Structure 1
């Protein structure tokens, strides 16, 4: 077997440096052009939704070849799968009918000779934690004659907030609030003159034995390389537009969202309720629907309709969907106890260098709660590299006990709980905050630890 991709090795070795501050993010000339383009073209429609063009790399839309043949072939392969798997077909059909009926997609006009059109193949993907939830992904990376739609699009600067920053602010105050934006990408429209680049084939009414019809997406779609940048730009643009009228809600949306998930904390129930109401009003003005609200205090949610609340009060996974599949460790927020814990799902792996790398690299602990434990696993991998052990060679006998002990320790992580809030709920008025840092290093690893010290007005 070939060695793992270089990206997998780098992910394991450089995971400690995965977070970058806003100031450290590199901004290219393409990023500047992306922002300038959207600043000059974004507009708000009568229904409140923001509309933006596809941000092409060239000033003029590209003259792409007509790839109808590729889309037709891919559709035939999809048709065979839909006929074999009944549940897959039912979910796919429901997704497409909803997309078309709510205006996210529209029947494509008859193209005239000389019109530039591009067809996007599509396929369905099930959510890894929700086996009944299917999302249709449009394959904007599909190449025809050596080019794809994504090859022509600007992705824009990384406008995503730091996950560590969002989580740290989530721990600051006693009242926690979480929510998300429903179908975030689909809330931002594509300018009509660019929609012919987003054509796709589908059977009207899901009738597989009929001739497929041509449709085109009217919104920024999941699968286009430009969509995350456009959605994040528009979300921050919306917050800036209402900075005066909704000061707190604007700051929440601009700084405390990680893609479509919002997490924040405030000092009182009244402040939390005010923030929720204001944020809903602000988002509504931009055509966005915020829902799945949750809080560690049930009184906080009394200000909104039950349909807007999260359907469960069970532990909330704080793992974004865009993180790689196969995590054996995921941080969770227990809403009832207001603590962080760890969801551990062990996967059978051969005791080889490849298997150890797979497990160690898949640990998800963005705040470093179990960094000392992770370091022990990395040290085993370090020793294998030093000894020149092959990727598929079995673990040497002298290292096997260390590996077994480390694997058994994974299950013990379930017993660890960390209070979400930095200070107790009855701590009183905070008059002073201190941050104390300690660090050390050795030949096998390094470590750093920070202590947050609060002082109240009772001293």
Structure 2
């Protein structure tokens, strides 16, 4: 994406490379003419070009322009439609709009087989045949989250440490950081890791010192159950199109931690209800002791921000 965007001539002098083949060769100066990977401003420049492209052609391609402005994260477009006809129209508009800037969309992935069948195989992350034959194996990363296009569900990827015979604070933090859960879908499990980490600080455990027996046993028990997270499946669709949705928020606290969660409640045509977790967030209780009512107020404040 970066290589497809030219930098203004007046700014290329700031993207200079000084080079020579060996100590005896004359120094040569090169200027990079495109957006350069690794510079702090590069992601902004790339996104700014996409937004300007959408603004310039929003009258001709209104559907695609709205998606680029609202559903794009750098070079990933994560969006959806309520029916196949709208989806095919969006696909056509996105291809035509981005072609105006010589951008070519690749790695298409969808839970809609008719969409994938209209695209060349080399442009798809997985073909419809592969997805249908290996539904439980083929997953794609959607902004860091595992998504199964066949079942249309999110999954939590967990990577167990090679050995936990002598856990340390560093190994506990390393394992915790590997659980990528930005929406807090498995917060009840992750908060246990946070509480254990806080306890290591309270007891003054160094980074590479073996955990005390009580903390070590607690950690091993948590770790022995960590693999169950890979069985968790979260539906991507919160509610079917055209149904009424209620948003419910909950907050609570204990002496160890406090949390907030937001759910959707949808009434279907047969008068049944579907409830789904949208997002959750947890915090460990401060080291300075607080009363349960104050912690519950903290949880309510967390809910307002969520």
The TM-score normalised by the length of structure 2 is: 0.77
Give the CA deviation at 1:201.
5.5
- Residues 201-256 of structure 1 deviation map (CA, whole Å, 9 limit, x = unaligned): 5789xxxxx98865321101001211111111111111122222212111111111
Q: 1:294 aligns with which of 109, 134, 145?
A: 109
1:16-415 matches, within 5 Å, as 184-200=1-17, 214-311=29-126, 313=131, 314-320=138-144, 331-348=145-162, 350-415=166-231
Where structure 2 has 5 or more consecutive residues not aligned to the other structure, the ranges are 132-137, 272-306
Give the conservation status (yes or no) of the 8 Å contact 2:159–2:178: no
Matches of 1:202 and 1:294, distance apart in 2: 42
Residue 340 of structure 1 aligns to a residue whose secondary structure is strand
Matches of 1:234 and 1:441, distance apart in 2: 45
- Residues 151-193 of structure 1 deviation map (CA, whole Å, 9 limit, x = unaligned): xxxxxxxxxxxxxxxxxxxxxxxxxxxxxxxxx2222111223
Give the CA deviation at 1:293.
1.1
Give the conservation status (yes or no) of the 8 Å contact 1:353–1:393: yes
Matches of 1:403 and 1:294, distance apart in 2: 38
1:443 equivalent in structure 2: 255
**Relative contact order, higher structure (CA 8 A, sep 6+):** 1
The TM-score normalised by the length of structure 1 is: 0.52
The count of aligned residue pairs is: 259
Give the CA deviation at 1:333.
0.5
Residue 333 of structure 1 aligns to a residue whose secondary structure is strand
Give the CA deviation at 1:309.
2.0
Rate the CA distance shift 1:450–1:197 in 2: closer, same or farther, 3 A: closer
Residue 406 of structure 1 aligns to a residue whose secondary structure is helix
Residue 453 of structure 1 aligns to a residue whose secondary structure is strand
Matches of 2:84 and 2:26, distance apart in 1: 57
Give the conservation status (yes or no) of the 8 Å contact 2:36–2:42: yes
Give the conservation status (yes or no) of the 8 Å contact 1:332–1:341: yes
Matches of 2:173 and 2:120, distance apart in 1: 47
Matches of 1:202 and 1:309, distance apart in 2: 39
Give the CA deviation at 1:278.
0.3
Give the CA deviation at 1:380.
0.8
Where structure 1 has 5 or more consecutive residues not aligned to the other structure, the ranges are 1-183, 205-209, 321-330
Matches of 1:346 and 1:360, distance apart in 2: 10
Residue 221 of structure 1 aligns to a residue whose secondary structure is coil
